[in-house]
Structure 1
């Protein structure tokens, strides 16, 4: 798909987005909150943003990035499908209570138009979707700004961008900081996150246990490839994702490959609608997996859904998993 930015006439429609496509390597300049516009990459293209005042965010990762940056006043509402755990358990539960819950369905164009959104924050194929008719290109044509999680830009048509998962988190915070006119706040937040990650990696052992992340699936397991946050979580904590060599995001593999890798630890991604306890029970009873070292030794670590997708909570998930591995070694 080749992207053609919407014209400047979109401003006359009463929405605030003007999109300019420039060379991918162009320097990004910060016009600041006072000027109201700034050019920031959206995956591999340069886009001019006007400071949003009525953002709609999809899933916890999108909301949490804005909440962590202190931008709650700029968030109109959130869309939260059932896979997400209840927001009452979030570190930003108070912020969720201050904005509008819009839907527990998948993201769709009709909703963001109805809510008069001036920015939509989501991932590619995890919010934005060709099949469901809500893409940055479509929103551009409506004069609605959009922001994609950098981690998801890996397979964004026309403008891919390859960034390691945790670097994608930092990049998002920095880019959102520029869009909303709070670059210093974003820089401070990223600096603190980097320091927390460095504290974990400094304690990581040289010998790395093989780790399998189990997302879902019975006929074939769904797991984490190289391009999603759990691979960095596992690696930084001192483990080795058995599927880190797969140049993919979330992907399907075979049970035979899992058995061949003989994982010593299994990370269970805990959904709101697919509880970890059910997945653990399956792995214990399934003939193919019940004799794996991790299952025999009861080495299951539960990773919250919002600690596994691109989110500030990745850092929390990393610290928890690192403590788990340290306790195992003791």
Structure 2
């Protein structure tokens, strides 16, 4: 990954008036508050950036769209880009909201689409939507006077302005920051408090820290070498909060490649299968059962597989759905 200068000034994205608004400030009605036409300063990873209220937001993948829909921002969403890995939007709790906006592409995010649709905000992750290799980065969009928002959990290695946060904390941060950008702080607080309440309920019933947590391996994909979850993505918090232990928790990475030897040495008792729209979970389970590299793993011998929906694994409100389901599964193993 190439580096950028540590200091740069983003292009002005709105009016000349800048209003510094703290995330914890009082709520505002988007349609009636005269300050909605002014700038608000919100951090994009580690960088303070001025935002005006977007009216033509483009979301990349389900996690981005779900965050916007959960805050009641459908009227401010132009559409979404949904690559094949993402399961059908009809499965989302916000399926009715997806139906009200345009599906812009079933491919990766690109600059040409955003420009042609006259978008005024792009919501995606660093190296997950935004990409230096594909020529669509916040810096490039700044020059085009198109606003951008990055998921906090993807910011830990953002060049120049890194920000490190635990994945669930990143989810809460995103909702609060989006609430500030769209002037719906009260709604954001309500949504975040609801998610935290659900997380705390799971944490209260999980095995105590003194107990020996079950080792868990998340299998994303890969046959020669597996792709898995490090400590910087939501499944790590899902596993830990539910009372398990991600066998690759020590890797300061997001989604990363490892080797089968490391997996076998860790002897996982449970395997989480990340279920893509284009890579069904059953095919992955069949591979693990058939491969001599994995067929003797404790989780495989005991048939202890848990299927995690793609949108429960990437940053978004459905992380908490995945947490509740996984916690229930772990409980079922030790009734």
TM-score by length of 2: 0.92
Which of 213, 218, 231 is matched with 2:218 structurally? 213
Using the TM superposition, give the Cα deviation of residue 29 of structure 1 relative to its aligned residue in structure 2, in angstroms.
8.2
Shift of 1:5: 3.0
Query: 1:45–1:29: structure 2 CA closer, same or farther, 3 Å change rule?
Result: farther
Shift of 1:30: 5.6
Deviation digits for residues 208-233 of structure 1 (CA, Å, limit 9, x no counterpart) = 10000000001110000000000000
State whether structure 2 residue 48 is matched by structure 1 residue 46. yes
| 1:70 equivalent in alignment to 2:35 | no
Kindly state the Cα deviation for residue 6 of structure 1 after the two structures are TM-superposed: 4.2
Cα distance change of structure 1 residues 47 and 82 upon mapping to structure 2, 3 Å threshold: same
RMSD: 1.8
**Separation of aligned partners in 1, 2:24 and 2:215:** 43
For 2:10 and 2:249, locate their aligned partners in 1 and report how far apart those are by CA, in whole Å. Answer: 38
Tell me which of 254, 276, 294 is aligned to 2:281. 276
Unpaired segments of 5 or more residues in structure 2? none
Aligned equivalents of 2:156 and 2:121: distance in 1?
A: 21
- The answer to whether residue 9 in structure 2 is matched with residue 5 in structure 1 is yes
How far, CA to CA, are the matches of 1:240 and 1:179 in structure 2?
A: 36
The CA deviation at 1:7 is 4.0
C-alpha distance in 2, partners of 1:96/1:267?
A: 28
Deviation for aligned residue 1:174? 0.2
The verdict on how the C-alpha distance between 1:304 and 1:278 changes in structure 2, with shifts beyond 3 A counting, is same
Distance 2:15 2:253 in 1: 32
Distance 1:6 1:45 in 2: 9
**Which secondary structure state, in structure 1, belongs to the residue aligned with residue 142 of structure 2?**
helix
Contiguous gaps of at least 5 residues in structure 1: none
Question: Contact 1:5–1:140 (CA<8 Å) still a contact in 2?
Answer: no
- The counterpart of 2:242, out of the listed 232, 237, 242, is 237
Q: 1:17 to 1:160 in 2, by over 3 A?
A: farther
| Partner residue of 2:324 out of 307, 315, 319 | 319
In structure 2, distance between residues paired with 1:290 and 1:18: 63
Matches within 5 A, 1:178-327: 178-206=180-208, 207=211, 208-327=213-332
When residues 142 and 19 of structure 1 are mapped into structure 2, their CA distance, relative to the original with a 3 A threshold, is: farther
> In the alignment, which of 100, 108, 118 is matched to residue 98 of structure 1?
100
* 1:215 and 1:268 in contact (8 A); partners too: yes
Provide the secondary structure at the position in 2 that maps to 1:247: coil
Give 3-state SS (helix, strand or coil) of 1:303's partner.
Answer: strand
2:24/2:185 contact within 8 Å kept: no
* Preserved contact between residue 17 and residue 140 of structure 1 (Cα < 8 Å): no
CA pair 117-30 structure 1, distance change in 2 beyond 3 A: farther
Output one character per residue of 1:19-63: Cα deviation in whole Å (capped at 9) or x when no partner.
99x9xxx96686954212211000001011000011000000000
Counterpart for residue 83 of structure 2: 81
Match of 2:131 among 121, 129, 132: 129
Cα distance between partner residues in 2 of 1:84 and 1:176:
22
Residues 271-300 of structure 1: CA deviation (Å, up to 9, x unaligned): 001110000000000001001000000000
Q: Tell me the secondary structure at the aligned position of residue 202 of structure 1.
A: helix
Q: Given that residues 67 and 95 in structure 1 are in contact (C-alpha distance below 8 angstroms), is that contact kept between their aligned partners in structure 2?
A: yes
Q: Secondary structure at the match of 2:48?
A: strand
Say how many residue pairs are matched: 320
Distance in 1 (CA, whole Å) between partners of 2:97 and 2:24 is: 30
